[in-house]
């Protein structure tokens, strides 16, 4: 699937417009599998030059419609500063082989 997503991002990027990934959810009951899939997708998206941002439906179990899609559970949630700086993340992630992404 990463190769397909990469090809689709490349195709959409041909329009010359910024790409925003919108309303991303990964529905998976196993929290470790879910975390790995989210990580692989975010790495793939932010490694692409045309991707400027990512919008999640939600990330916290206290305010998400899908309990199998959350990234954080409990009453205390802290967002890492690096997650708020996509350009820094993009520079860090560029050059990773697409084989590092697990299939969806």
- Give the Cα separation of 77 and 18 in Å (integer): 30
Please compute the mean of the pLDDT values over residues 19-34 and round it to a whole number. Answer: 88
Half-sphere exposure of 92 (CA within 13 A, CB side): 9
d(CA 104, CA 96) in angstroms, rounded, equals 18
Give residue-wise pLDDT tens across range 34-84.
889 989 999 999 999 999 999 877 776 666 677 877 777 777 766 666 555
Q: pTM score, two decimals?
A: 0.66
Q: Where are the beta strands (DSSP E) in the chain?
A: 19-24, 51-56
Structure-token pair, residue 24:
């991303």
Q: Which residues contact 77 (CB under 8 A, 6 or more apart)?
A: 59, 60
């Amino acid at each position: 699937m990463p190769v397909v997503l990469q090809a689709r991002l490349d195709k959409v990027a041909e329009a010359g417009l910024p790409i925003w990934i919108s309303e991303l959810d990964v529905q998976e009951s196993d929290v470790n599998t879910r975390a790995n899939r989210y990580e692989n997708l975010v790495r793939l998206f932010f490694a692409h030059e045309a991707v400027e941002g990512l919008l999640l439906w939600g990330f916290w179990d206290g305010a998400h419609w899908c309990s199998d899609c959350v990234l954080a559970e409990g009453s205390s949630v802290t967002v890492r500063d690096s997650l708020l700086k996509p350009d820094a993340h993009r520079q860090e992630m560029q050059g990773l082989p697409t084989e590092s992404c697990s299939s969806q």
